[in-house]
Amino acid sequence: NPSFLLANCENLIANEGSILFSSKQIKQHKPNELPTNIVIIATTSQIIETKSDGLSFIKNKYKKDYPTNITTIKYFKKVVDEDFTQYGSSAKNLYLLLLEDL
């Protein structure tokens, strides 16, 4: 197993502090199958307000060859009181390299 993943992302979701991925970045892997350490390279133009905006962005970006496995990672530390909303999620050490492009 690799010790870390170096990847880009679809968007950075501002209102919940999550990172939006698709099969273009993580193939068919579920978040709990990814390495614990993930290094993300993103630009300031990828910051959007809501998850809905992110889905619209993906729809407009990929007119053909629409990606699958669209997911967000937002659990950056182990949840103490797990409930059904955290099912299938796992804590990750995320490192964001944010490049200014505006």
Taking the C-alpha atoms of residue 100 and residue 42, their distance in angstroms, rounded to an integer, is: 9
The whole-number pLDDT of residue 88 equals: 56
Instruction: Supply 27's token pair.
Output: 């193939």
pLDDT single digits (tens) 26-79 = 999 988 899 999 999 999 999 999 999 999 999 999 988 999 999 998 866 655
Comparing 38 with 89, which gets the higher pLDDT? Answer: 38
Q: Hey, where are the domains in the chain?
A: 4-99
The pLDDT of residue 84 is 46
- Token duo for residue 80: 């103490």
| pLDDT band for position 25 (cuts 50, 70, 90) | very high
8 A C-beta contact, residue 13 and residue 51: yes
Q: Two tokens at 81?
A: 């009181």
Run of H or E residues at 48? strand 47-48
CATH code for the domain defined by 4-99: 3.40.50.10420
Banded model confidence at residue 95, pLDDT cuts 50, 70, 90 = very high
